[in-house]
Chains A and B, each alone.
Chain A
Amino acid sequence: MRGTRLELRQVRRRFGELDVLADISLSVRAGEFVSILGPSGAGKSTIFKLLTGGLRADGGEMLFDGKPLTDETRPFAFMPQRDALMPWRRIVDNTTLGLEVQGVAREAARQRVAPLFAEFGLEGFEQHYPAQLSGGMRQRAALLRTVVQNRAMLLLDEPFGALDALTRSGMQRWLEDMWQHHSWTALLITHDVREAVFLSDRIYVLTGRPARVLREVKVPLPRPRRELASPEASAIEADILETLLNPEEDQRT
């Protein structure tokens, strides 16, 4: 059985008078794709800032492989909402950024990313600048930069939020496909219910601010998943939407 990697227990965080995270408890097992789904402004991104060390929690526990998270142990590769590619670096140098920060030599880093360019649909664009790429390609480059860091777990913060609907659907399918080959462990933040259902093994539905986990939804759909809106997926989607729209009637967690 796959062991639990990340576990949050009753994590809390407030900003002055503003109570953002009231009670967040969740877990992610090895090889599992888990989504955090919640309304905009619910503090989803705050959870990631707590995980990556950008913010401190006011209370609760954050464990990775059973040990508390510290600044020295950074098991996460983080992909921010906007691609955050450096406009002055060529794509290949953008994708090796994390390795460079880890101290990997330039040539060695380039050799590590090179074989992945084809799979990420970026072959032939190694020497291009981000400004020369379309939104979908930039997002794939950002994901390549994330996965090549070889961290235990990926944190994806609304990675497709800035894309147009058609590109987004294509990217979701592509990511689901990549999932089959790589068995990454990932935590995804999104407010797109369909995206969460399509990609996830489990979904944590959050309340509005102050956020707490409203519901945990298992998505037992078989993989590979080809259809964004199969009848089974649509049923789960409708159920979650109902929860999000009428949170008072649904206080089971």
Chain B
Amino acid sequence: MSFTRRDFLKASAAASALAGLGLPSDALAASGERWVKSVCRYCGTGCGLYVGVRDGKVFAVKGDRDNHNRGLLCLKGFLLPQIMTAPDRCLRPLVRKGGKLVPASWDEAMALVAARFKAAIAEHGPDSVGFYGSGQGLTEETYAANKLFKAGIRTNNVEGNPRLCMASAVGGYVSTYGKDEPMGCYEDIDHADVMLLVGSNAAEAHPIVFERMARRKQTGRDVKVIVLDPRVTPTSRLADLHISFTPGTDLAILNAMAHVLVAEGLVDEEFVKAHLAFGEGKESNKSWADYVAFVAGYTPARAAEISGARAEDIVTAARWFGEKGRTATSMWTMGLNQRTKGVWANNLVHNLHLVTGKIGVPGSTPLSLTGQPNACGGVRDGGALSHLLPYGRLVANEKHRAEMEKLWNVPPGTIRPENGLATMDLFKALEDGKLHALYVMTTNPGQSLPNVDRWRKALEERRTFLVVAEAFHPTRTSELADVVLPAALWAEKEGVYGCTERRYQLLEQAVKPAGAARPDFDILCDLARRLGHGKLLPWRKPADAWEEILTLCKGTAYDFSGMSRAALKEAHGLLWPLPSPGHPGTKRRYVKGEDPLVPADHPQRVKFYGRPDQRAVVWLRPQQPPAEVADAEYPFHYTTGRIIEHWHTGTMTRNCRELRDANYEAVAELHPDDGAKLGIRTGDRVKITSRRGAETFRARLTPGARPGLVFVHMHDAEHMCNRVTIEAVDPVSKQPEFKICAVKVEKVETA
């Protein structure tokens, strides 16, 4: 009996689908093939998978049934094998000569990088250089860069894409609980009676989390789903209540929900007394009475007037959320974070949980969904932003600096006491000619920064020596580089990713790097040696750095010091705190009986140990408008976001045939009424202009759009949505307001 490759693939597909149902199958094991445990390369959900390797190449992936995703993956994840052999993989170093990027040896490229960094530091000081990384880098890679720049070069100019993505969520967690990262987990979805989604199109941005929500909605008893989003999105299909509102007015809605909770006696008074403090501005100097007086001003009627939502819907949402005896989980993403009031908006979601006591029990938690696969583990937890040090420590805190200097075995005073430049300030310094060398790793700011042409113009002036370590070339950033370093991609290297729910997972190396590509970890260790800091990065392999990382988290609120490499290899993800070998990990943080950092004899069910007073703070945050609102000259609001087929700047997904064929070109979605007013039909090309720039897109009229709002896909390298967006930032998180600006729309071409 002959058995073709097609037969094998079919059998594998059948086995996998049946396994997804928990049914047995006649699974086949072909000789010469092996499956390597790993994690999806895309969003922050952190889906476990196995990489299929044959003849030294990745030929397929299958979901990990033993991980939280139960074997399910979204289509992007399944098509990961295609990115490994994409035609635009960067396979050798490139150095700019005579205005063109030309092939070079590794030694030539690295020698040039080291020389230019040394020269900049010698001539202009350490703050004349910087690092711009990503939540896509592995933890060990980001750690290596953070240590090299902060303890070796002695600049805190270490930033990354998470500043554009999760900084306001961090600000929300830190200001409310004292420490970053959610206290809940995906399993809370399985117990939630109410799910509140704010500024999250999970159906497209986090499809596997959405599948879990759908499962809960279908199987739970009277489960309610509330979606707060100006647009009707695929996520709204699951909603019992969708509240649309004028962009930037959701703070009024959230305060009005709190108003209803207080007015209708839906608060948990004992929890309030035992666990909460109240604050305004930066100080927790207010009282429960002050808070009650504050929310009294946000009647549903007033919030409706501000937001354009219906008052009765706000009341319904609050009643569902607050109903005694029922659990509530909230989830949010960029709709809240990418705002000039992003931290405040995050605070207000936490407030709903805190005043009702709906936190720290199965099914009740505020759970921010993360955009990148390792924004949590590598950058947030690892402290790889300009104001952070590893595992909850701050640059501005003398004690924290001293701790890190001791742990890093560098002289006291090595770590500079001033925060480095946050992302937008870093690029302003570049524009001003103050940043003389920048190392960009695994990200694409030449496309992803707001008001992107401003920074592209600055980069094109070539006053800053730009190094781009990247798996693909050209990208809209690598095309501007002075040196492009070919980086190994995903299954070609080894390291740890930490996803939304504090779940850390090991990605094992499955295949050798393509061409001359090297893991970023190796490249950074090489650079450290060439800069004279080899002793700081002495490791031979990522596992060596992991051993060091375990010593840094020990004794902190992030303690995962029991998470050995072997434990990670064995497990299908481990959730911290995990402070000792053999500990099973922690589903719910701050909760007695679950979190090992809460004493077993603690008299209450939760202990918010992140703050000195061990109380979470309910913040009084008023509604305030976004930095730019629609007006007579620019009458539309403009917002951007993901679609299910693509991810971020498209460097990976636009390399997959099936995904390219689906929504390859970004479109601008408009409400049909707006289309009629402007004479625009689906397929017409429209020009969208803001005070900063303009871009053209194909129009798509859809009744799910909100009148007066234009939504544009964010993944298109040729039609860049960020030519239009605004670089105004949240004053606390320094995260830009990608989600709202004012534009005008005009038809430029009929379909």
Q: Do A and B come from one complex?
A: no
Interface positions of B (Cβ within 8 A of A) = none
Interface positions of A (Cβ within 8 A of B) = none
